[in-house]
């Protein structure tokens, strides 16, 4: 399908979520990585390592700073770029991915890949300052203003009234 889209002149950007798992908070069901080396896979509360840190609003935060989790993310995006030939990614809550210096943008396989960051999480708002110049940023405030305008919300900016030309 990606190759067919490319033949039609359409690039493929995947919207990916590498910031949390489906488990939710500490007392949620085990669906993915819970209990398999929590200290490596998840960011935990500084005062109680048995509880997840929640920078995502989803109850847990993957520990993208840990080499095992970073490898899982890289293996995944490498597959999508090398095997499936996608053109780029829009990373949900990408601030989770930039909490150390080893950013995805330094990976040679991703050198020509479009990287779009939703440049915030629950604690970091990095729009205008995200990582390096290799990243493009998703501007949620602009998106929300456009959505409000298109819906015709009463508090949105209204277009200027065009002059009426009679017959």
Per-residue pLDDT reduced to its tens digit, 95-105 = 877 655 556 77
Please tell me the predicted confidence (pLDDT) of residue 159.
Answer: 59
| pLDDT digits 0-9 by tens, 141-162 | 788 888 888 888 887 765 555 5
Please tell me the predicted confidence (pLDDT) of residue 64.
Answer: 87
Specify whether 118 is catalytic: yes
Q: What is the mean pLDDT of the chain?
A: 84
Specify whether 101 is catalytic: no
Choice among 23, 107, 118, 137 that is catalytic: 118
* Overall size of the chain counted in residues: 167
Residue 31: pLDDT band with limits 50, 70, 90: confident
Choice among 23, 92, 121, 137 that is catalytic: 92
3 state DSSP class of 127: coil
| pLDDT digits 0-9 by tens, 119-142 | 877 777 778 777 666 788 888 878
Please tell me the predicted confidence (pLDDT) of residue 81.
Answer: 96
62: which residues sit within 8 A by CB, 6+ positions away?
A: 18, 19, 20, 21, 33, 41, 42, 43, 69, 96
Structural domain spans, the chain: 2-19+64-151
Lowest-pLDDT choice from 12-16, 58-62, 64-68, 128-132: 128-132
Task: Determine the Cα–Cα distance for residues 34 and 60; give it in Å rounded to an integer.
Answer: 10
Residue 5: pLDDT band with limits 50, 70, 90: very high
């Amino acid at each position: 399908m990606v190759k067919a889209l490319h033949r039609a002149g359409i690039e493929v950007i995947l919207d990916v979520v590498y910031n949390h798992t489906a488990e939710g908070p500490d007392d949620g069901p085990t669906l993915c990585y819970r209990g398999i080396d929590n200290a490596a896979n998840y960011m935990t509360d500084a005062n109680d390592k048995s509880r997840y840190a929640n920078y995502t609003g989803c109850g847990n935060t993957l520990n993208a700073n840990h080499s095992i989790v970073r490898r899982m993310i890289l293996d995944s995006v490498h597959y999508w770029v090398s095997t499936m030939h996608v053109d780029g990614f829009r990373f949900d809550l990408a601030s989770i991915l930039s909490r150390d210096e080893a950013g995805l943008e330094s990976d040679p396989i991703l050198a020509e890949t479009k990287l779009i960051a939703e440049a915030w999480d629950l604690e970091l708002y990095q729009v205008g300052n995200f990582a390096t110049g290799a990243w493009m940023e998703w501007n949620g405030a602009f998106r929300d203003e456009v959505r409000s305008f298109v819906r015709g919300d009463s508090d949105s900016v209204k277009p200027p009234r065009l002059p009426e030309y009679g017959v």
